[in-house]
């Protein structure tokens, strides 16, 4: 016996607008939690951003149902220079007490800079924003906003957890970027050992993907609601995570070719 297909009814524009407002509010909540030190909360935003922007053969994004996305302009906080041979997203390396698995370990990760100073910066077309690079290595590995959002949502815990994950994405999550740092001069041995350095003192900084996602969410929240005439209560606080860093100094990674 064949199963009857369920009847589908088209949504109204008003219902799409309700979904849109809910998406913006969810992004705000995830941002607030991230800014209070709960970095994993920003992973949920990948699903919300996929709903807003992603089109496939069988589905259309919320924005495509409501507006002409070719007319949208979105803030770009990933400022790649022409001489950059590697680009890590303009984020800072920090150390926090406690990991998900062990509260006595020290979590080495990345956080964004204070993006509020860039909130009125250059805006680019949606097409260029969606396909724009936010991380790349000199051997050709690169990640775009499109890739980060869809892989995190579809493979890495946003909506699904897959057995195998896109290699470029998983490498930046694990800290396998080809670059590691030795911060042993900045910490006593009993502290530094909790960061799991290798035998030469180098540590791999994990979860760059989450810091990049926080930047993307900020770009969306300072750009789209205003253009779509939607009021949201978004008050980012990037200072909390900076102030709670174990080291008074923060480091960023930048590699450029000589002129």
- What's the pLDDT tens digit per position in 209-256? 999 999 999 999 999 999 999 999 999 999 999 888 877 666 677 676
Q: Phi/psi of residue 42, each to 5°? A: -75, -15
The answer to whether residue 32 sits within a structural domain is: yes
The count of structural domains within the chain is: 1
**pLDDT tens figures, 77-100:** 998 888 888 888 999 989 888 888
Burial of 174 (0-12, 13-18, 19+ CB in 10 A): middle
Nearest residue to 74 (alpha-carbon basis) of 214, 216, 208, 213 = 216
The answer to whether residue 5 sits within a structural domain is: no
The answer to whether residue 6 sits within a structural domain is: no
Residue 47 clears pLDDT 70, i.e. is over it: yes
Specify the pLDDT at position 176: 84
The answer to whether residue 8 sits within a structural domain is: no
The answer to whether residue 47 sits within a structural domain is: yes
CA atoms within 13 A on the CB side of 101: 1
The answer to whether residue 37 sits within a structural domain is: yes
CA distances from 243 to 24, 32, 87, 214 (A): 27, 16, 25, 17
Nearest residue to 224 (alpha-carbon basis) of 32, 66, 42 = 66
Helix H or strand E encompassing 254: strand 254-256
The answer to whether residue 63 sits within a structural domain is: yes
Tokens 């008003």 appear where? 14
187 pLDDT band, cuts 50/70/90, is confident
Q: Which domain holds residue 230?
A: 13-256
Does 249 or 174 have the greater pLDDT score?
A: 174
What DSSP state is assigned to residue 11?
P
Structure tokens belonging to residue 161: 């957890």
Contact 75, 52 (CB under 8 A): no
The CA angle 137-143-147, to the nearest 5 degrees, is: 165
Tokens 């995190």 appear where? 152
The answer to whether residue 167 sits within a structural domain is: yes
117 pLDDT band, cuts 50/70/90, is confident
Specify the pLDDT at position 256: 64
């Amino acid at each position: 016996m064949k199963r009857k297909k369920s009847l589908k009814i088209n949504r109204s524009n008003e219902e799409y607008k309700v979904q849109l407002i809910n998406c913006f509010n969810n992004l705000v909540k995830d941002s607030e939690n991230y800014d209070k030190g709960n970095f994993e909360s920003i992973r949920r935003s990948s699903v919300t951003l996929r709903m807003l922007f992603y089109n496939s053969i069988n589905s259309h994004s919320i924005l495509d149902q409501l507006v002409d996305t070719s007319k949208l302009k979105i803030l770009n906080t990933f400022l790649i220079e022409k001489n950059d041979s590697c680009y890590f997203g303009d984020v800072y390396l920090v150390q926090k007490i406690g990991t998900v698995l062990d509260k006595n370990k020290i979590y080495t990760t990345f956080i964004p800079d204070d993006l509020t100073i860039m909130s009125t910066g250059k805006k680019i077309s949606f097409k260029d924003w969606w396909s724009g690079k936010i991380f790349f290595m000199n051997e050709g590995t690169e990640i775009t906003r499109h890739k980060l959002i869809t892989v995190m949502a579809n493979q890495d815990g946003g909506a699904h957890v897959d057995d195998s994950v896109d290699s470029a994405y998983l490498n930046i999550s694990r800290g396998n970027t080809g670059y590691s740092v030795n911060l042993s001069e900045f910490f006593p041995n009993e502290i530094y050992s909790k960061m799991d350095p290798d035998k030469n003192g180098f540590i791999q900084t994990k979860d760059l993907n989450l810091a990049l996602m926080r930047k993307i969410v900020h770009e969306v929240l300072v750009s789209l609601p205003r253009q779509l005439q939607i009021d949201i209560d978004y008050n980012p606080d990037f200072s909390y995570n900076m102030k709670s860093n174990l080291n008074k100094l923060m480091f960023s990674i930048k590699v450029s070719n000589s002129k």
